[in-house]
Amino acid sequence: MKHESREPDSGQNAVLPDDAAVGASQPQLQPRFLRLPRSGELCWFSGLSRSQMWLAVKAGHVRSHSLKRPGTRRGVRLVDAASLVEWLSSNPPAEISEARTQKGGAA
């Protein structure tokens, strides 16, 4: 039988804290750029639709970058996440009118 020498623990077998404890002690990583969501889907980061995000970009509220190879028609539109968060934070929360919450009622 082969005898293995035991060295002091170098931290390789350390117990790692659960996700909640890590989140409390370290800041959450946030993306720098976001792709526009597919049509009919919502952005996983902001909850906005593709149309809402595009309107914010077009109005100049949110910065974006278009990545496109020379000679191609299509590219990728990346939205600056920091400017999106800044814009969303600057807007007051929407108030829902009573008429809209009633089923079948119009505002």
Whether pTM > 0.75 for this model: the answer is no
The ranges assigned to domains in the chain are 30-68+76-93
Higher pLDDT, 6 or 52: 52
Return the DSSP state at 42: B
The residues pairing with 49 across neighbouring beta strands, listed in sequence order, are 42
The pLDDT tens digits for 17-33 are: 555 554 556 677 889 99
- Give dist(CA 89, CA 81) in Å, integer: 12
Structure confidence at residue 98 as a pLDDT band (50, 70, 90): low
The whole-angstrom separation of Cα 6 and Cα 11 is: 14
Number of H-type helices and E-type strands within the chain: 4, 3
Cα distances from 29 to residues 22, 26, 32, 43, 81, in angstroms, run 12, 9, 9, 17, 12
